[in-house]
Amino acid sequence: MTYFQFQDPWMFLLLAIIPLLIYRTLKNRPATLHFSSLDSLKVLHSKRMDFLAATPLILRCLAIALLVTALARPQEGRKSTEILSAGVDILLAIDTSGSMQAMDFEKNNQPVDRLTVVKDVVSEFIDSREFDRMGMVVFGNEAFTQCPLTLDHDILHSFLKKLKIGVAGDSTAIGSAIGISVKRLKDLESKSKVIILLTDGRNNAGNITPLQAAEIAKTFDIKIYTVGVGTHGEAPFPMNTPFGRKMLMQKVEMDEDSLKKIAEQTGGRYFRATDSDSLKQIYAQIDSLEKSEVKWIDHSEYRELFPLFLIPALLLVLAETVLAQTRLRRVP
């Protein structure tokens, strides 16, 4: 990361000299000369002559401004961070099945589907884990890695923004999602390996059950936090009807017992989010539970830029002195 800074910015207080200098110069103008003819005065008094008369003062003020800038020590540098210890490796397993289109969450006081709110909350969570490697698995009928583990969170954000309901099918393969996540984490040497599994349904697809997958995760010392999203009872779903697109209430089916067992089996915790605020609080709580102690060293290299201001300032002083003693010399 490159940067520009002034090492001693307080030196700019010296710029107050400039208005004082201008005031003193104007106040102490030399006495008026008397001419025997007004024709001579008209020839001497012109805009060009006024500018030439003010040139030494202008040069002096510019020189002072450049000298003060040089004294403030402008610096241009490059800063880099070397991480000495790894943080937590986190895989975000996100349900994109058809049931995620339920409109029981709100954003800006407007009803939105569950995935829209999930993407906003997960995005904030990613930003809070600056030094942790993070990846993303999405699941529906099947599960696949949307983004491998990375420290480049900008890439992870871009994948998250493109996430759509139904991208992996309309069913819910929770066991497969855990299995794929474990495969990504199992061989890594890190202080802590975590899966945050978010779903709004029950396992009804895939070749492995959630509890079997959780047992494998436990073998590799992988902790799973499970998050169930959605209201209790019924939720509004957008449906195409002969009378256009309508909101119809449908029963919500979530296997909370399995989600609790998955979390307990791996040393994690189960959470239930019924609205946007509770979902934010859940990810904030997980963030506090999985804090990593990351050590790093900042390397800074910089070069002084004051010669770029000091040399022109000295040249201006020299020019002002020469002109004041030659072409712009004042009559006593």
Query: Which of 88-102, 144-158, 169-183, 297-311 bottoms out in mean pLDDT, i.e. has the lowest?
Result: 297-311
Phi and psi, residue 36, nearest 5°: -75, -15
CA 4/CA 74 separation, integer angstroms = 7
Partners of residue 79 on adjacent β-strands: 300
Of all residues in the chain, what percent carry a pLDDT higher than 90? Answer: 47
Residue 47: predicted pLDDT: 59
pLDDT reported for residue 200: 92
Q: Please determine, for residue 314, whether its predicted confidence score (pLDDT) is greater than 70.
A: yes
Which domains does the chain carry? Answer: 2-78+300-325 (no CATH), 85-289 (3.40.50.410)
Q: Is the pLDDT of residue 317 over 70?
A: yes
Euclidean distance between CA atoms 217 and 208, whole angstroms:
13
Q: What is the pLDDT of residues 198-226, one digit of tens each?
A: 999 899 999 999 999 999 999 999 999 99
DSSP state of 326: T
More confident residue, 29 or 69: 69
CA distances 104 to 139, 172, 203, 237, 250, Å, are 21, 19, 21, 8, 11
Q: What mean pLDDT is reported for the chain?
A: 85
Greater model confidence, 279 or 2:
279
pLDDT at 245: 77
In terms of pLDDT, which residue wins out, 38 or 182?
182
- Pair type for strands 134-139 and 88-95: parallel
pLDDT(146) > 90? yes
Q: What is the band of 321 on the pLDDT scale with cuts at 50, 70, 90?
A: confident
What's the pLDDT score for residue 101?
92
Strand pairing category for 244-251 and 134-139: unpaired
pLDDT on residue 247: 82
pLDDT tens digit string along 168-181?
999 999 999 999 99
Output the pLDDT for position 234.
86
- Residue 252 pLDDT: 81
Q: Can you give the pLDDT at residue 306?
A: 86
Query: In 3D, which of 154, 160, 176, 148 has the Cα closest to residue 115?
Result: 160
| Average pLDDT of the segment spanning 189-197 | 89
Q: How confident is the model over 46-62, as pLDDT tens digits?
A: 555 556 667 877 888 89
Angle (CA) 246-248-254 rounded to 5° is 140
What tens digit of pLDDT does each residue of 282-300 get? 999 998 888 766 565 666 7
pLDDT tens digits, residue range 155-164?
Answer: 999 999 999 9
